[in-house]
Structure 1
Amino acid sequence: MFDLSDYTYDLPEDLIAQTPCDIRSDSRLLHIHRNTHAVSHRRFSDLPGLLHPGDLLVVNDTRVIPARLFGKKATGGRVEVLIIDYAQGMQHLEKTGSFQCNCLVRASKMPKTGSVLYFTEQMTGQVMSVRDGICEILFAGGKQFVAYLKSAGTLPLPPYIRRDPETRPVPEDRENYQTVYAKNDGAVAAPTAGLHFTKPLMAALARKKIDMVHLTLHVGYGTFVPVRVKDIREHQIHSEYYSLSAGAAQKINAAKDQGRRVVAVGTTSVRTLEFTADDQGRVASGTGMCDLYIYPGYRFKCVDAMITNFHLPKSTLLMLVSAFYDRQRMLDAYAAAVAEKYRFFSYGDAMLIE
């Protein structure tokens, strides 16, 4: 249960989705009942009939920023910069008037402290420190840099979605790789379970008296960091900024008090809810850094059901869903999805586990 090899499965490469469905809610939905272990094959558009009146959906309204920039070093060598802590940069901007944050840098040689990176003649970044392969960069221009990033940056799509973001960008990704309810800038990856929702589907859920409440967790690059330790308990989980408003917490706690189900949309919502919950499953509002690592043996306090996409082998997210259900039965469900040719990962199909 704690060996990394316990969380692998065979996936044909052609099942890794490269584009979303033309209509988001037309994606497939693997439906799992934890009590009976029954598995059925549905469409995401069936969700209003699968959930219960009174259920409370909790969604993550983070918005993916165009966090990847291309430029040059003083020597003329090409450099690629990925901003991995936009929230840190915005906090620094509010305090000092300058945008400074942690970044990943790809170049022929890692730039040294003090190096200047050039994006345009006016827009530059100075490397303030380098530690464990992460550069802290001070970008010129302050608020002007934020505007430049939004206009010139490209979306940091996951590596298994094969694009060349510099020479062959796909404009549709700017819309497709956002949930329809995204509003708070800061993520470098989408909360992909939410990509299946459409405005008509949300209206259909509301008509069934299935409410929806928002929280924010800015998905960081650590979501793609593989587990490299043999014993999964030794893995160091990444931290991500979260925000849960007092109003949202009140609605979640009311659902728990009234015996209504809390249905988390995506593993990011799951982690935030469980991180902020007490032993009775009641959550506390606030902001901070979420570093909760969920793997089998964890006792869930707040989440009663979850909607999630299919996750990479040996990933912390596969461990999370295995903790919510059962490791072997979850792997059996993945095998069934492969056999039925479900589409996997960010632009792929979804699961409802209840």
Structure 2
Amino acid sequence: MKALSIMKKITLLNSVFLVFALTVSLSAGADDDPTPTDKWINAYGDVCTLNGQPLPIGAIIQAYDQDGILCGKDTVHEAGHYGFMPVYKDDIYTDTVEGASQDEPITLKINGLPTLHLGPASIYWSKNGDPYWVNLSASQNISMNLTSPPGQFGSPGQQLSFDFQVENTGSGIDLYDLEAVSRYGWGTQIASGNPSEYADSGEVITISVILSVPVDIFADITDTLFLTVSSRMDNTVSMTGKTTATITPTAAEDEYSIIPDEFSLSQNFPNPFNPETVISYSLEKGGQVNLEIYNILGQPVDKPVDEYQDAGDYSVVWNSQNSGRMLPSGVYFYRLSVGELTLTRKMVLLK
């Protein structure tokens, strides 16, 4: 019986050690938070670095007890600084372990990665409210993959949604800044409303981008949507993906646009532009149509349209070229002439 009891104790100790080893090897993700209790100490630092640079805004500081329990968390709001970060003690009111025990050493991490505790203090759970000044340093591999979605087809006035995939192929938690841009300046927005997103190491996140197609499109046109993803942890690491939106007016729109109410010339979009812009116009009657581009000196530089056209609505993509040569930045004028009717507008090429 005594030998059997000893064997049970050894088995129990091995089980406890296995659980302990598994627990301390885990790191919480960006979305994990500690459980607050009624007792805590405060950790802070003012000379903290990541890859030799001041700790970036958005980096995550995590505090763990020796059992791997997340007992503190803070987000950097000033480069190189963190805190005051509450580091919670386990309470006596529940069976759940929420935090550290009395006199237990605390381990601090940056973005889930090991750190060098540079002091000047060593941090352990002492008594409620004690402050600990602990500067930190860590190294992190920053890399990503960006996968673009296939192009879509749509109609004027539609909102099209595109799902880009971003994979964190580096080590530790990363924070990505997001910027969506349309080639023709159409409305874009990140569907979540967040201009930045966290991703744990190995995690693939979906970034949905909504493209708002203008209503006043009267001819087939293909826009390009760009999404740039930049790492907040290292602003030299970024990727840009792109996809297309091909817009075709519906039959009803074509029928409506056959006989416009007036002769008109719309403002080009986008404006300013680089290198392409769309010029739209309406013809109440058919005739010989001339659309000419002039520089600020009044010199003609291009003639995108020189032909007979029936009454209707038209759109022309102008690529800011003169005989195949790119034109310099500046103010340009475009003039539409049909018979004795002439309209002129101004546009800006900005490189």
Q: Tell me, yes or no, whether TM beats 0.5.
A: no
Q: Which structure is richer in relative contact order (CA contacts within 8 A, separation 6 or more)? A: 1
Into which bin does the TM-score normalised by the smaller protein fall? under 0.3
Greater helix share, structure number: 1
Greater strand share, structure number: 2
TM-score when normalising by structure 1: 0.22
Q: Between Structure 1 and Structure 2, whose CA radius of gyration is higher?
A: 2
TM-score when normalising by structure 2: 0.22
